[in-house]
Amino acid sequence: MKLLQNSGVPIYQQIAEQLKADILAGRMREGEYLPSIRGLAKDLKISVITTMKAYEQLEAEGLVTAAQGKGFYVNAQDSEMLKEQHLRKVEESLLGAIQAAEIAGMSDKELMETLQTLLSMKDSQ
């Protein structure tokens, strides 16, 4: 797990986002336990409170559940919810690309051509 100290994003949020990405991508499966709060804090050289805050955020989003004395485990994921989460991520990324293209002075046509080129490159790999 990589944490960026100067990103402007709180450490707990970076942890939660990385774990959320692993859960939504299926790299962490239903019933699998997250690393222990103390263990993760020690590995990342951060506060236990910071790690706990990240786990509580994931619990509030319904991605994990706390088991008394055992830690946090991954909940079953609704396939429709997963799809919606991924669609939201695509939309956010595309909005970012549109903003970057505007800053770069690209026309809508140039942006669409760039997207088409990238899509065709993906298909040929």
Tally of domains in the chain: 2
> What are the tokens at 117?
């080129």
> Quick check: is 39 in a domain?
yes
* Domain at 22, CATH number: 1.10.10.10
Say if residue 62 is in the same domain as residue 100: no
Q: Which domain, by its residues, includes 89?
A: 79-124
Q: Among 45, 79, 81, which residue's Cα sits nearest to residue 61?
A: 81
pLDDT in tens, 27-59: 998 999 999 999 999 999 999 999 999 999 999
Q: Report pTM.
A: 0.66
How many angstroms separate the CA atoms of 3 and 7, rounded? 9
**Residue 8 DSSP class:** S
How many angstroms separate the CA atoms of 22 and 8, rounded? 22
pLDDT in tens, 68-125: 999 999 998 766 777 787 788 889 999 999 999 999 999 999 999 999 999 998 877 6
